[in-house]
Amino acid sequence: MKIKRIRTGIATAAALMAVSTGANAAVYDYAKVISSTPVVRYVTVRTPVRECWQETEYYTRYEGRRGSPGTTLAGAVIGGVIGHQFGSGRGNDAATIAGTMIGAAIGHGPVRRVDYARPVERCETRFRNHQEQRIDGYDVIYRYRGQKYATRMPYDPGKKIKVRVDIRPAG
């Protein structure tokens, strides 16, 4: 008698559930997952890489003093007098002119060229490409009530999968 009451209660609950859920409502159950295979896609990823190196930079600087017009003139006069001492005849005129030019250059001031070198760091950004795997989803095969089904899911479902069961009258 007790068993009969339990069976009647289960049957009544099932009938009420079927009536209360309506014709379009869904019932959910669980199915066993047979396999879950990741769907892999390869993508090219572009990564910026900063590369730096040392270079030697060369430059020139001129050092020394620049004379005033007075020192240039004094140098020319002294150079002309010294040059005049070395020449005779027409060579005397050439030696005087050469002495004047050299004396003017010395009076103007010595200038010397100095070459420098210094290390400089140069940098540039380049891009490197590499391949990466991306998982687009999972191809899942599952068994529900003896039948095998397949679907693609965005995640790995694990050992069992929740399925929606539509109950409709045949007809």
The residue among 164 and 88 whose pLDDT is bigger is 164
DSSP label at residue 146: T
Predicted local confidence at residue 6, as pLDDT: 44
**Residue 105: beta bridge partners?**
none
Maximum C-alpha span of the chain: 158
3-state secondary structure of 153: strand
103-115 mean pLDDT: 72
Task: Place 11 in a pLDDT band, splitting at 50, 70 and 90.
Answer: very low
157-164: long-range contacts (C-beta < 8 A, 24 or more apart)? 157/33, 157/36, 158/33, 158/36, 159/32, 159/33, 160/30, 160/31, 160/32, 160/33, 161/30, 161/31, 161/33, 162/28, 162/29, 162/30, 163/28, 163/29, 163/30, 163/31, 164/26, 164/27, 164/28
d(CA 71, CA 63): 18
- For 13-76, the DSSP string reads HHHHHHHHH-SS--EEEEEEEEEEEEEEEEEEEEEEEEEEEEEEEEEEEEEE----HHHHHHHH
How far, in Å, CA of 47 to CA of 131, rounded?
11
Does 112 have pLDDT greater than 90?
A: no
Q: Please give the mean pLDDT across all residues of the chain.
A: 80
Per-residue pLDDT at 64: 63
CA–CA gap between residue 100 and residue 63 (Å, rounded)? 24
One-letter identity of residue 70: G
Percent of the chain with pLDDT over 90: 45
User: How large is the angle between the packed helices 90-108 and 69-86, nearest 10 degrees?
Assistant: 150
